[in-house]
Chains A and B, each alone.
Chain A
């Protein structure tokens, strides 16, 4: 007997077989004298099944091995750089790894990692309200005949290659958005985040170059890229709000927004937070669009409107070709730090989303 779940079998076999059951069907009961004990049922694959299961397990183990090799290799090579740099790897801003064997060597990810985080956080801050609006529109406002179409469009937007976004940001948005940067820094420059060093904002001769290739412009493009992902996570959680409670809110005289605020948003809270964190994870790992837009600087750059930004992935993409073996180790360490950051964020995001879903099923 084959069954998908061995547990089911053992449960069935634990019911003792008795002759009285058979008596209801057979005219002359065949009574069995020997009391039958519950048999232990073991499902063992035979023949083709064994080969098949072996192949499946093999592919699972192979995938596991590949991923673990990636992890161990990254860790091993990163260790070479980390043992030289020590804890200073996380506090040093510049990137001058040298050759690793004596000689000047001073490198760390303090500058580029804060740059990556800054780009990611700005991107999610820009994307979150827009994605929230789109998710609400699709789940609540759009007429039902257009809903499928809108969802397809958002999925298509998520499928647009990042180099196309990068192209748009690099050749179109860079100089246009720099005008917004200029305006913001002129009138809101007293906020440290928006100030720009070395620029006289009142001078009409100020070059727009001071405002291009900045954290802000990279964040605009990355924010556009992650909007569909964040939005679809939110939309799924919004659409799980139960119909009865929606209608209950309407019956109590709520406006549409009142219904959304009291019914949909409490149900979608997990989806909002989880979607935002998932988008943040994607934003941190983005490479090519950021590479096309920013000019890389190796310092902590808190002025998001100023030209020059830091990014781990851009560091890797722009330095690998000319790197000595030791610098490759340093890049590995930077990549590993980035990977661990995105991993933690993704795990937290998926646990939040999973918990919000499981809570709805029980309640």
Chain B
């Protein structure tokens, strides 16, 4: 095949001189030389001008039609319904416009794409709204320092924002989540390790029951602690009781997550450790847990984020107070979500604005935990960060240097060893340090190598 005329095309078929025979088939069906229009470079991007026109046009049609329908045929008030109707019309009109030029199959394709994009846009938009709503309405309170250093014990309903704060709820949240994690993290990770290290009928039973416990509604967990610990055993409504209730919620989550993380630890690593004669205890401590560390940290942090946001178990078990209470064991202790709920439903304007601020603060806390989980996790077991890899290279280089030094010591101590070394170097000339004059690679060089 020959392309006779060279235009501005980027591609060309002709590659060097061709044998004469190659042109013969062309000549058979092509009587006169082909003429190529100078071809413009085509864009293979997905957005075409026509589809943009169609989108804009149908948007305008939808807006005007909505106006028509809602003022003439089915009048109503309210922006949400307006947007809803406009969107439905937009989809219909876009489909009609596309069907003018495209086949039915292409129309279905366009509509599917449009619906998919708009579902995503809707979700992200709503999410931004839900997040921005408390932050925007509570920003006045959030920007006052007293919000973080005072409580509401003397704050009346009419006191302005610059009096009183939610220090007591922040303290309550921190202490309760600490109690929760102190209970559920060792127990949960131990149980996850149990499921993987001692597989058997008992482990399967525990796994099934833990999976079932994740279905326990949070309010029922709170009711259980309320009925058992508070009514039966006389524990006061306190931060500790709230911590217990939250542990019931987070424990199954941490068990499941750590079970999955431990299962991802490569079996080869563990078997290598066993082959070196390590016991199970040492293998778990030196191989399994370090390998699964980032995954475990992610699981724990996400469990903590979940626990911080839980309201209903705390509502039933912690009591409500406006006083700062550092002791989680004796008196009622409020957490941030509980304070949000109580303040927002109080109906007092100044309390409601503090409730917004509490919700905003709660979200910021969750966001920080979430970002932390992303930074630590997001990496499978055994995959190292750059820093970890560098540290490991340094450690291994130091170890190699130590071996080399002790080898030389042995050689100095036993002259016979020289013979052995010579023999060894005959077999492995590449290891001879004298022949190549090689220095042992530095840690940095070793790290650079893949």
**A→B interface (CB under 8 Å):** 1-4, 45, 47-49, 51-53, 55-64, 66-68, 70, 73-74, 77, 129-130, 132-134, 136-138, 140-141, 150, 152-157, 159-168, 170-172, 176-177, 179-180, 182-183, 186-187, 224, 227-228, 231, 255-258, 260, 281, 284-285, 287-288, 291-292, 313, 316-317, 320, 325, 328, 331-332, 335-336, 338-339, 342-343, 345-347, 350
Contact = CB atoms under 8 A, between A and B. Distances in A.
A67 B252 CA distance: 9
B120 A137 contact: yes
A140 B116 CA distance: 10
Contacts of A316: 219-220, 223, 316
A331 B220 CA distance: 9
Contacts of A4: 197, 267, 270-271, 274
A163 to B, nearest CB: 4
A130 B122 contact: yes
A224 B217 contact: no
**Which residue, of B106, B131, B359, has the highest number of chain A Cβ atoms within 10 A?**
B359
Given A62-B187, A332-B227, A160 B366 contact: yes
B224 A73 contact: yes
B123 interface: yes
Interface string B265-288: 001001100100111111110000
Interface residues of B, number: 104
Given A56-B193, A157-B123, A167 B344 contact: yes
Contact of B281 (A52, A132, A335, A350): A52
A167 B280 contact: no
29 contacts: A3-B274, A49-B281, A52-B279, A52-B280, A53-B198, A58-B190, A59-B193, A63-B210, A70-B221, A70-B248, A74-B224, A134-B119, A136-B116, A150-B120, A162-B309, A164-B130, A167-B133, A168-B133, A180-B80, A180-B81, A183-B74, A183-B78, A257-B108, A257-B109, A288-B311, A288-B341, A342-B215, A342-B217, A350-B211
Given A165-B130, A180-B84, A288 B337 contact: yes
Given A159-B366, A161-B359, 10 more contacts: A4-B197, A62-B191, A133-B116, A162-B309, A163-B337, A171-B352, A257-B112, A287-B217, A320-B316, A328-B231
A173 to B, nearest CB: 9
**Which residue, of A2, A228, A332, has the highest number of chain B Cβ atoms within 10 A?**
A2
9 closest Cβ pairs, A-B complex: A133-B119, A161-B309, A179-B78, A285-B217, A59-B190, A255-B109, A60-B194, A287-B312, A335-B220
Interface stretch (B12-20, B199-207, B398-406): B199-207
Nearest to B311: A288
Contacts of B194: 56-57, 59-60
B148 interface: no
A176 B191 CA distance: 47
Main secondary structure of the interface of B (DSSP, over half): helix
Contacts of B76: 179, 182-183, 186
Interface string B107-128: 0110011011111101110110
B62 interface: no
B324 interface: no
Given A183-B81, A342-B215, A60 B195 contact: yes
A171 B216 contact: no
Contacts of A153: 124, 127
A335 B251 CA distance: 19
Contact of A172 (B133, B252, B277, B374): B133
B346 to A, nearest CB: 12
A90 B192 CA distance: 38
A171 B362 CA distance: 17
A343 B217 CA distance: 10
A140 to B, nearest CB: 8
B80 A339 contact: no
**Which residue, of A66, A317, A347, has the highest number of chain B Cβ atoms within 10 A?**
A317
